[in-house]
A and B are shown apart, each in its own frame.
Chain A
Amino acid sequence: MRPARTGGRSPAAALLIGLAAGGALGALAVAHLVSRLDAETDHLRRNEEQLLARLAALDAAKNDFMATVSHELRTPLTSISGYVELLRDSEPGELTDAQRRMLEVIARNARRLRELIEDILTLSRIESGGFASEPGDLDLAEVIERAVSAVAPTADKASVGLHCDVRGPLPIRGDGAQLDRVLANLVGNAIKFTPPEGTVTIRAEHRDGHTLLTVSDTGMGIPAAEQTALFDRFFRATNAIRQAIPGTGLGLAICQKIVDSHGGSIEVDSTENVGTTVRIRLPD
């Protein structure tokens, strides 16, 4: 279909005809077309500006809403987890074993609710761009080191071996707090889904203008049929649910958003009951 706004001819064609004719009529036709084009462009620009303003307003409203909801949820949650803590701190003998177990369930679920609230808020902030603070020059090897020392006690407790093969320094441009979050999530997941005596290996190196990071584990893996849904929000693998491994199902969605915002890519390679490898590629 021809564009209607130039009377059945493209502006370039009309201009050429006008120039070729060289006469007053051609010049008039060109002038007319140019003014119509200007008006159209103005109109389109105004529409686009209005649309962008509306989108920005919607985004701000969503952000506000998320912040308010998260605030409103935190207050009752403080009471639930706080009073449970008081009960659990009571003198030995004041509670029966069965009651203690019930309190533990309440505490665990309060913690789960808290993690959900935090993750939902984080995701909403990343999506609205509010989380993308200032990218700076950093060393990914340091980010990895921080994550490893933070999770080392957890790995120890779970009897999971933690190995690092990092060839630093690995200079990249990025947001330190966001990348801390990615590392904490990936290494935390690897430990969480790996049975005792298993291993988690973190490798990072610079190769062909990219920094490659892999986190592999010898854990339960993700069933093949479910792997396409891995990055969906609230996705949880059936084997993880069956074994009652806690999680919000938002961690990988958050990681993906962060890696995307760094211009990188993330992929997962997993075999059930063998292990999972997550690969991240970040540009220089």
Chain B
Amino acid sequence: MTVVLVADDDADIRDLVAFKLEQAGFDVIAVEDGQAALEQARSRQPTLAVLDVSMPGLSGIDVCKMLRADPATAGILIIMLTARVQEQDVEGGFSAGADDYVTKPFSPRELVSRIQALLSRARA
């Protein structure tokens, strides 16, 4: 089963994403901050990580950069969740090395299809 890491400090959104992804057949690891995301990414080696941009402590962008910088985790596909739509935030996510970004509010259904698209692109 494909392992997906979900990091969001908002419990309701974390549960929402985890529920939807489990329903879609993924094995989900859900964490509430950047530090835990980094640890889980290193120990569990997920195929893909869904990271909220604004989390206390390490932000999603920080985590993304650190995952990319470490050869052991550099291959993890990353989708950023952002509540900011300003161009600079989107660019910030991409320059940190994210593969895709989804702005809040998002449709859980759409998030699943973005994940699936990214996975099939990576497999191709």
A197 to chain B minimum Cβ distance, whole angstroms, is: 33
CB neighbours of B16 from chain A (8 A): 78-79, 82-83, 86
Could you tell me if A82 and B83 are in contact, using CB atoms closer than 8 angstroms?
no
Question: Cα distance A74–B84 when bound, in Å?
Answer: 9
Give how many A-B residue pairs fall within 8 Å (CB-CB). Answer: 50
CB neighbours of B20 from chain A (8 A): 82, 86
A261 to chain B minimum Cβ distance, whole angstroms, is: 18
Given A75-B10, A79-B13, A79-B16, check contact A86 B108 (CB 8 Å). Answer: yes
Write the B80-124 contact mask toward A (1 if CB under 8 angstroms, else 0). Answer: 000111100000000000000001111111000000000000000
Please report the total number of A residues contacting B with Cβ < 8 Å: 19
Question: Cα distance A110–B54 when bound, in Å?
Answer: 22
Which residues in B have some Cβ–Cβ distance to A below 8 Å?
Answer: 10, 12-13, 16, 19-20, 54, 83-86, 103-109
Q: When A and B form their complex, which 8 residue pairs have the shortest distance between CB atoms, in order from nearest?
A: A78-B105, A74-B83, A79-B12, A78-B104, A74-B104, A77-B105, A82-B16, A71-B83
CB neighbours of B103 from chain A (8 A): 74
Question: Cα distance A110–B10 when bound, in Å?
Answer: 19
Contact of A75 (CB < 8 Å), options: B85, B104, B107 = B104
The winner among A67, A75, A82 for most chain B CB atoms within 10 A is A82
Question: Cα distance A70–B83 when bound, in Å?
Answer: 8
Could you tell me if A82 and B84 are in contact, using CB atoms closer than 8 angstroms?
no
Question: Cα distance A89–B112 when bound, in Å?
Answer: 14
Interface of A (DSSP majority class): helix
Question: Cα distance A71–B104 when bound, in Å?
Answer: 9
Which residues in A have some Cβ–Cβ distance to B below 8 Å?
Answer: 67, 70-71, 74-75, 77-83, 85-86, 89, 110, 114, 118, 121
Write the chain A residue with the least CB distance to B106: A78
Question: Cα distance A175–B105 when bound, in Å?
Answer: 27
Question: Cα distance A118–B103 when bound, in Å?
Answer: 12
Could you tell me if B86 and A82 are in contact, using CB atoms closer than 8 angstroms?
no
CB neighbours of B107 from chain A (8 A): 81-82, 85
Could you tell me if B109 and A75 are in contact, using CB atoms closer than 8 angstroms?
no
Question: Cα distance A71–B53 when bound, in Å?
Answer: 11
CB neighbours of B104 from chain A (8 A): 74-75, 77-78
CB neighbours of B12 from chain A (8 A): 79, 83
28 pairs from A and B in contact (CB 8 Å cutoff)? A67-B84, A67-B86, A71-B54, A71-B83, A74-B83, A74-B103, A74-B104, A75-B10, A75-B104, A77-B104, A77-B105, A78-B13, A79-B10, A79-B13, A81-B105, A82-B16, A82-B20, A82-B105, A82-B108, A83-B16, A85-B108, A85-B109, A86-B16, A86-B19, A86-B20, A110-B105, A118-B85, A121-B85
